[in-house]
Amino acid sequence: MPELPEVETIRRQLVPELKSRSIKKVDVRLPKMVRGRLAAYKKNISGSKIINVGRRGKLLVISMANNYSFLIHLKMTGQIIHRRGQKTKAGGHPIKDGAVNLPNKYTHIIWYLSGGGVLYFNDIRQFGFTKLIKTEELENFYNDLKLGPEPLKKQFTMDFFKSLLRRRGGMKVKQLLLDQTAIAGIGNIYAAEACFDARIMPTRRAGSLSSPEALKLYRAIKKILIKAIVAQGTSSQNYVDAHGNPGGYFPKLKVYSRGGQACFRCHSKIKSIKLGGRTTTFCPQCQK
Ligand SMILES: [Zn+2]
């Protein structure tokens, strides 16, 4: 699933392509991917000018001059592709040949833009969605979802993190990091990487972390996410050449997807377990 760094990478790629463009038409090929009323969705998007491309957690938030916004959530296997002429920008879940012939069988929503650009929403498993919402109601929507703070914004302070560890002390550390109501945007990749960086076992109870450990984990979360954004994410893909190379953070992964391989720090074998149904990798030697 694309996490904060992957969605942020898509957002940054889309800003110059979408900002100040008008949406000429939206083609909804699979209505179930639109949450809320389909007619209102089409009516309020068609002919509207895009004024901002934002992000909240793993949600892309595209705001329009008519005071409406539409959200895009890529969920497990969603992919966003923008194409104008020969120029293609893509992000999200890697889909083999997903950007080769567009639209293709995975393309469920298409936004046609002024200036010749086209935005495609591909999704293999169709868990992703888009939703229209009044821009002034966005904050209420996030509150209804009980979305936690953005980990790279000022609101995510060490005091907040300490109180979170206390309040949810019974939860396992990794599961707490994955919980979008605790902190927004972290998923399986960066939760595992942050625990490794802080040398904390992902199965520890949140309440058992000492003050120095909590500080290490807090710093690790920020550091890992920033590095991943700079590297343009792990699963984010650039399909310019249609070969689908992994995002730049992939070679920097220390534990995620490295089960059975040697730890870069101590050379022990990285262990892979299931935690809450999700594959969880860690070094049994240098994570405590
Ligand atoms: Zn190790």
Q: Which domains does the chain have, with CATH numbers?
A: 4-144 (3.20.190.10), 158-282 (1.10.8.50)
222 CA → ligand 1 middle, Å: 21
pLDDT given for residue 93 in this prediction: 79
What residue type is assigned to position 116 of the chain?
Answer: G
- 31-44 per-position pLDDT tens digit: 999 999 999 999 99
Query: How much is the average pLDDT of 67-81?
Result: 94
pLDDT given for residue 274 in this prediction: 97
Quick check: 228 and 263 in contact, CB under 8 A? no
What are residue 11's phi and psi, to 5 degrees? -55, -50
- 208-220 per-position pLDDT tens digit: 999 999 999 999 9
Banded model confidence at residue 246, pLDDT cuts 50, 70, 90: low
Is 37 buried (19+), middle (13-18) or exposed (0-12) by CB count in 10 A? Answer: exposed
Query: How much is the average pLDDT of 255-274?
Result: 97
pLDDT given for residue 250 in this prediction: 84
Active site residues: 2-3, 58, 278
Check whether 107 has a pLDDT greater than 50.
yes
Coil, strand, or helix at residue 45?
A: helix
Instruction: Report d(CA 186, CA 2) in Å as an integer.
Output: 9
Quick check: 27 and 109 in contact, CB under 8 A? yes
Query: How much is the average pLDDT of 237-265?
Result: 75
Question: What pairing do the DSSP bridges indicate for beta strands 118-123 and 78-84?
Answer: antiparallel
Number of other residues whose CB lies within 10 A of the CB of residue 288: 10
99 CA → ligand 1 middle, Å: 39
Banded model confidence at residue 90, pLDDT cuts 50, 70, 90: confident
Global pTM reads 0.94
Check whether 241 has a pLDDT greater than 50.
no
Quick check: 185 and 151 in contact, CB under 8 A? yes
Quick check: 54 and 63 in contact, CB under 8 A? yes
Our CA dihedral for 125, 128, 130, 135, rounded to 10 degrees, sits at 180
Find the distance separating the first CA and the last CA of the chain, reported in whole Å: 27
pLDDT given for residue 245 in this prediction: 53
276 CA → ligand 1 middle, Å: 23
Instruction: Report d(CA 286, CA 269) in Å as an integer.
Output: 11
Banded model confidence at residue 149, pLDDT cuts 50, 70, 90: very high
Check whether 92 has a pLDDT greater than 70.
yes
Instruction: Report d(CA 153, CA 274) in Å as an integer.
Output: 31
Check whether 243 has a pLDDT greater than 60.
no
192 CA → ligand 1 middle, Å: 13
123 CA → ligand 1 middle, Å: 36
Check whether 235 has a pLDDT greater than 80.
no
126 CA → ligand 1 middle, Å: 38
pLDDT given for residue 277 in this prediction: 93
Q: Which two tokens stand for residue 112?
A: 């046609």
Query: How much is the average pLDDT of 228-238?
Result: 73
